[in-house]
């Protein structure tokens, strides 16, 4: 190959398709032959030929015109390609292949894969959550307790990390029981708490509010009558 030919090769228009499509086309149900036909249609499109004939397609492949025609019919029937009418600059109508159905199917495939991955991750997090409860309670959970955690997840739509945060709050407060954890989650949901950061900020506001109330009450009490007050239970609105 001479230098001029090499330059022309480098200057030729690159062929571009999503790399993910190359690795997932078989999962769409496409055979190698069908995929290559679609790629050739794409290449013809880039070259300005929007409606290549079976003969033009098979010239770039090893299959004959008859087989190429049958594969095109199957691609149309399966909804991987469509035939549309397009207007040129003079307003003249002409037919053109559209690969939009192919990419629509591909997007759905990727979405399904992402949903499967998210579902698997969700199941992992929930499994870890149940184990975390058993570790803190140092015993297997009862069926009623398992049902309550499931209700927090499914009915109340709490994220596993929020439920675990409520569990930690109960441990720190030395009130390790399901009623206390349920009250924490109820309070957080009522106040729009959905993340760990929001839970921390909300808890800080509550503590500051009750510290201020405690200081006001202390200042209003005569010195001789002052007694040591226990810590305020912000969930129940009462003193421990």
pLDDT level of residue 214 (50, 70, 90 thresholds)? low
For residue 90, tell me if it sits in a domain: yes
Query: Looking at residue 201, which CATH number applies to its domain?
Result: 1.10.10.630
Give the model's pLDDT for residue 192. 87
pLDDT of 67 strictly over 60:
yes
Our count of domains for the chain comes to 2
For residue 3, tell me if it sits in a domain: no
**Residue 34 or residue 141, greater confidence:** 34
Considering the domain architecture, whether residues 123 and 202 belong to the same structural domain is answered as yes
**Terminal C-alpha separation, the chain:** 89
**Residue 215 or residue 82, greater confidence:** 82
Give the model's pLDDT for residue 239. 45
Domain residues for 130? Answer: 117-222+232-239
Give the model's pLDDT for residue 87. 78
**Which residue has 């794409």 as its token pair?**
42
Q: Which of 71, 98, 125 is the last residue of a domain?
A: 98
pLDDT level of residue 14 (50, 70, 90 thresholds)? low
Q: What is the mean pLDDT of residues 173-177?
A: 88
pLDDT level of residue 10 (50, 70, 90 thresholds)? low
The C-alpha angle with vertex 117 and arms to 78 and 196, in degrees rounded to 5, equals 140
Q: Which of 98, 125, 141 is the last residue of a domain?
A: 98
Considering the domain architecture, whether residues 83 and 160 belong to the same structural domain is answered as no
Give the model's pLDDT for residue 9. 56
β-strand partners of 93: 87
Considering the domain architecture, whether residues 140 and 203 belong to the same structural domain is answered as yes
For residue 6, tell me if it sits in a domain: no
Give the model's pLDDT for residue 238. 46
pLDDT level of residue 174 (50, 70, 90 thresholds)? confident
Q: What is the mean pLDDT of residues 10-21?
A: 70
For residue 146, tell me if it sits in a domain: yes
Contact 24, 106 (CB under 8 A): yes
For residue 72, tell me if it sits in a domain: yes
For residue 194, tell me if it sits in a domain: yes
**Residue 13 or residue 144, greater confidence:** 144
pLDDT of 226 strictly over 90:
no
Tokens representing residue 190 in the block:
């009522």
pLDDT level of residue 51 (50, 70, 90 thresholds)? very high
How large is the C-alpha radius of gyration of the chain?
A: 33
pLDDT of 235 strictly over 60:
no
Give the model's pLDDT for residue 6. 59
């Amino acid at each position: 190959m001479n230098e001029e030919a090499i330059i022309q090769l480098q200057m030729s228009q690159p062929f571009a398709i999503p790399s993910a499509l190359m690795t997932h086309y078989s999962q769409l149900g496409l055979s190698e032959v069908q995929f290559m036909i679609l790629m050739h249609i794409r290449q013809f499109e880039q070259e300005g030929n929007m409606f290549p004939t079976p003969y033009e397609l098979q010239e770039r492949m090893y299959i004959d015109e008859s087989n190429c025609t049958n594969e095109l019919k199957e691609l149309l029937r399966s909804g991987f390609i469509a035939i549309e009418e397009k207007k040129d600059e003079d307003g003249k109508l002409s037919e053109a292949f559209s690969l939009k159905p192919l990419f629509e199917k591909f997007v759905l495939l990727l979405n399904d894969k992402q949903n499967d991955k998210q579902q698997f991750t969700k199941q992992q997090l929930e499994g870890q959550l149940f184990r975390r409860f058993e570790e803190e309670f140092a015993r297997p959970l009862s069926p009623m307790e398992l049902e309550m955690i499931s209700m927090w997840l499914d009915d109340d739509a709490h994220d596993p990390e929020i439920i675990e945060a409520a569990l930690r709050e109960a441990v720190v407060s030395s009130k390790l029981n399901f009623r206390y954890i349920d009250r924490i989650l109820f309070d957080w949901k009522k106040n729009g708490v959905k993340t760990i950061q929001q839970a921390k900020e909300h808890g800080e506001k509550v503590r500051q509010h009750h510290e201020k109330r405690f200081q006001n009450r202390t200042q209003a009490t005569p010195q001789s009558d002052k007694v040591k007050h226990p810590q305020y239970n912000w969930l129940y609105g009462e003193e421990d």
